[in-house]
Each structure stands twice: as C-alpha cells, then as structure tokens.
C-alpha cells in the first residue's frame, strides 16, 4: 500500500525533531576530551579538542606572537591511533616546527599525578627568550568539545 507523501513527510519531520532533541544530550554525556594547559607570558589557557577524522584538518592556535600550538588526536584507524602535539615558531617566512611529540592512544596512566600523560614540556623562543610550557590530559568529563 503506497504511503501518502504528506504523511511520510510528517513522520520524517517528527523523526528529525526527535533525533535533534536526543543527539545533543547523548553527545554531551561522557565525551572524552583532550585538554592541553598552555602557559606563556604569565597567562595559562586550557585548549580542548576531540578526536580528528583527519589529522590534516586540525588547525593551529596562536599562543602569543611567536608560538603556534597544534593538538592532533587520532583514534582511528587503530594502527595510527595517537596523540600528537606540535609547537611551531610563527616566522615571517611561515610556520617552522620546533617541537613535535607523539604519544600512544590510549596514553599510559601517569606514574605521578600533576602533569597528565605528557609531563611538563618547555619550549623556548630563540629570539626573545620567551618560554612556553604545556602539559596535556584526557578528561572524561561531561560536556561538549567546542
């Protein structure tokens, strides 16, 4: 028996409304979030991200006028699962990598609490003698990744 187009459209609209209402709650339940605490120039920022579908689409974030910071968290495929942290110098000729660290995913549990799975990292500006410090953790806290 054929379905009337108006009835089908109404059911689809109700289903779409239900999905739209439920998904935000489901997505906010217990999403794992990568948080890197970055300190530079007397200011500490907590940068957050979720897993990336492609590492090539993850943007850099400016830290002060010299550093660029990038966090790439890849969960799939399993043989490439890792968390990579990049620090670049923002030079006139373009970004130059000055540090890149790869951590396995899931990361091992830290031996000592306090600086997450990365430990405290320090990166220095060769021109202005500035110091960027950071450490990263995975958080299972409820909430969305911005």
pLDDT per residue as tens digits for the range 33-55: 999 999 999 999 999 999 999 99
Tell whether omega for the bond before 124 is within 30 degrees of 0, i.e. cis.
no
For the record, the structure tokens of 135 come out as: 């450490």
Instruction: Give the pLDDT of residue 19.
Output: 36
Q: Nearest-CA neighbor of 105 among 137, 85, 84, 83? A: 83
Over residues 92-121, the pLDDT tens digits come to: 999 999 999 999 999 998 888 899 999 999
Residue 120: phi, psi to the nearest 5?
-85, 125
């Amino acid at each position: 028996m054929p379905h009337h187009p108006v009835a089908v459209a109404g059911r689809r609209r109700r289903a779409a409304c239900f999905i739209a209402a439920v998904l935000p709650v489901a997505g906010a339940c217990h999403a794992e979030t990568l948080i890197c605490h970055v300190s530079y120039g007397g200011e500490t920022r907590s940068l957050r991200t979720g897993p990336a579908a492609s590492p090539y689409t993850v943007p850099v974030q400016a830290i002060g006028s010299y550093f660029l910071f990038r966090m790439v968290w890849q969960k799939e495929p399993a043989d490439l699962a890792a968390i990579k942290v990049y620090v670049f110098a923002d030079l006139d000729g373009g970004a130059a990598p000055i540090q890149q660290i790869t951590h396995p995913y899931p990361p091992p549990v830290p031996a000592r609490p306090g600086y997450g799975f990365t430990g405290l990292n320090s990166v220095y500006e060769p021109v202005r003698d500035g110091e960027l410090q950071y450490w990263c953790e995975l958080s299972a806290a409820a909430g969305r990744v911005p």
